[in-house]
Amino acid sequence: MLKNITLGQYFPGDTILHRLDPRMKIICTVLYVAAVFMAGNLFAMAVVALFFLYLVQLSAVKMRLLVRGLRPLMIIFSLTAILNLFFTPGEVLVSFWRLTITREGIFRGIIFLSRISLMVMGTFLLTYTTSPMAFTDGLEKLLAPLKKIRVPVHELAMIMSMALRFVPTLLEETDKIIKAQKARGADFESGGLFRRAKALIPVFVPLFISAFRRADELAIAMESRCYHGGEGRTRMRQLRYAQHDALAFLICVVFVVGIWWM
């Protein structure tokens, strides 16, 4: 299960999506998510899916990595399908006991599952093609107007970037601890729910200790480099919009308007 969580990973490349300005990628991702929620019929959802497949082709990211990232969300998918399948009023197709399956329930279940899948994979594609440093710079630039009302934009962007950066690290650490505990005879798969939860205590304790130790080392490293927030800081790489960024924005706007019209 831990190997299926790919959030926060970055896959270096030289594709058009990798070369886009991080600010534009964040804006286009927001527009893409808006288009996903606007799609209210199967035809519009199919158009969104084709557009997403085209983006995956441009990014050179393997589709199986995006699909693998959906596996930890299977419980949410199952609950969404069940709630829409059995509790949507409409034309009854199958009825047993007090449960009924309606035509509208099947339709809404397909729409909602497609919507969640496309939205999650779209956000994964953003992190796959954007380095944590570029993502931080882009997010900070986009939220810069909030500084006028004294919102700590730089600190918020830095916290989000660190959280995304340490997700793969903590998952790798968790996997190592689980393997070490299994080598010592620990059993995480047998028994009921409470027994499995109790068996995870020897995993969580060293994991929290490791996380706090990494946080302390990171704080010391930042202090030794005289880090004192975003005030007065300069950047080695300055963000500048290019022609392909304007083209990407135009395509996303046309795409959103088209989905809204559908």
Residue 250 CA to residue 52 CA, distance in Å, equals 16
Span 145-151, average pLDDT: 83
- Residues 14 and 59: their CA atoms lie apart, in Å, by 9
Beta bridge partners of 100: 95
Rounded mean pLDDT, 185-198: 72
Q: What is the pLDDT of residues 78-126, one digit of tens each?
A: 787 777 777 777 777 777 777 777 777 788 888 888 888 888 888 888 8
| Cβ atoms of residues 88 and 143 within 8 Å | no
What pLDDT is recorded for position 193? 66
pLDDT of residue 192: 67
Tokens 């706090």 belong to which residue? 212
Tens of pLDDT along 240-261?
A: 888 988 999 999 999 999 999 8
72 in Cβ contact with 4 (< 8 Å): yes
As a whole number, mean pLDDT of residues 8-14 equals: 77
Contact in structure between 16 and 244 (CB atoms under 8 Å):
yes
Which residues are bridge partners to 96 per DSSP? 99
Residues in the chain: 262
Mean pLDDT of the chain: 81
DSSP secondary structure code for residue 73 in this structure = G
Backbone φ, ψ for residue 96 (5° rounding): -150, 135
- Which amino acid type is present at position 225? R
What would the mean pLDDT of 208-220 be, rounded to a whole number? 86
Full-model pTM: 0.75
CA distance linking residue 252 with residue 113, whole number of Å: 23
Is it the case that residue 7 has pLDDT exceeding 80? no
Distance between CA atoms of residues 144 and 137, nearest Å: 10
Q: In the structure encoding, which two tokens stand for residue 176, read together?
A: 């190592």
At 255 the pLDDT is 92
Does 129 score more than 80 pLDDT? yes
* Domain range summary for the chain, segments of one domain joined by +: 2-164+240-261
The alpha carbon of residue 195 and the mean position of all alpha carbons in its chain are separated, in whole angstroms, by 31
Assign 230 a pLDDT band (cuts: 50, 70, 90). low
Cβ–Cβ under 8 Å, residues 103 and 85: no
pLDDT at 32 over 90: yes
Sign, CA torsion 176/166/13/71? positive
Q: How far apart are CA 164 and CA 169, in angstroms?
A: 10
Stretch 18-35: mean pLDDT:
91
Burial class (CB in 10 A: 0-12, 13-18, 19+), 102: buried
Q: Residue 91 and residue 112: Cα distance in Å, rounded?
A: 19
Non-local CB neighbours of 172 within 8 Å, separated by 6+ positions: none
